[in-house]
Chains A and B, each alone.
Chain A
Amino acid sequence: MNVDEVPQLRFALAIPARRPRPFALTPLVDVIFLLLIFFMLSSQILPYSLLTLTPAAASDGGQERVRETGLVIQERPTLLLIVRRGTIRAGANTIKSEELGDVLDTHEAPQKTPVTLLLSRNATVQDLATALGALTTRKFASVSIVGGVR
């Protein structure tokens, strides 16, 4: 018997041809959802406003300036405001903190008027912020704060 005549068993394994896989978006969506949840929980969407308390240029590096005489002559009259808990005293009038803006609107030439805020011992940060906010928006020349007033 010839070798070529030997019956042969032929197996045809059906291996499918490799198809290119489509780009899987699901893992990407999962990661982005996790990032979204993180930022939603950790971030604060609050309307912050910043009040400048002490500009850098105003400081004198801790060196207290000593005047030759104790007499200080002001070129322009200073607006004196006494800040108490919930109220502000401007001259002879005592008004509510929220009404300060209306009183300041009647002031002539705020850009040329320096303001001194005297903080009473019971004044809160809210009282100080209300007064400073009203003065900042009306662009007074300068604001000095003195604490611990009775």
Chain B
Amino acid sequence: MKIRRRQRKAPDFSLATINIVFLLLLFFVVAGTITAPKEAAIDLPTTVALPLERLPRPLLVIEPNGQLILDGSSTALDDIASTVRSGPSQILHILVPAKANANVALAPILHLAAQGIETRLVTIRQTQ
């Protein structure tokens, strides 16, 4: 009886590569948050021991001079509440540089609070 030997196929290099690349892609899509260059450049305040969270929109940048940038475009304080209410998320996330004066940041936050907008300050968690 003649035993037929199965021909061995050479392992496909591109298939292995694509698997790794798919995994990397999945990691960056899940773990990353897309930010505008101006938002990414802000030196955020640091906190310790708070839970980690993602950074959803809408994002309000309060510049040290009091200028307000909502999701990448300059905006007036009175227009923010209506824009946030019309969006999918009703929580406004605030980015302020760590070295900015707290009172400059507090004024628009209090104005928005009076209009019923929930606000959250974005910080970077420092490893202890």
Binding site for B on A (CB under 8 A): 25-26, 28-29, 32-33, 35-36, 39-40, 42-56, 58-62, 83, 101, 119, 121-130, 132-133, 136-137, 145, 147-148
Contact = CB atoms under 8 A, between A and B. Distances in A.
Interface residues of B, number: 60
Contact of B105 (A122, A125, A136): A125
Contacts, number: 176
B28 A43 contact: yes
B103 A62 contact: no
B46 interface: yes
A147 B103 contact: yes
Contacts of B55: 44, 46, 48
A52 B120 contact: yes
B77 interface: no
Contacts of A52: 118-120
B83 interface: no
A48 B53 contact: yes
Interface of B: 12, 14-15, 17-18, 21-22, 24-25, 28-29, 31-35, 40, 45-55, 90-91, 93-94, 96-103, 105-107, 109-110, 112-125, 127
19 contacts: A29-B14, A35-B25, A36-B24, A39-B25, A42-B35, A44-B35, A46-B33, A49-B51, A50-B123, A53-B113, A53-B120, A56-B90, A59-B116, A59-B117, A62-B114, A125-B99, A129-B45, A145-B106, A147-B103
A36 B29 CA distance: 9
Given A49-B52, A53-B94, A132-B121, A29 B102 contact: no
Given A54-B119, A123-B101, A126-B46, A40 B28 contact: yes
B14 A25 contact: yes
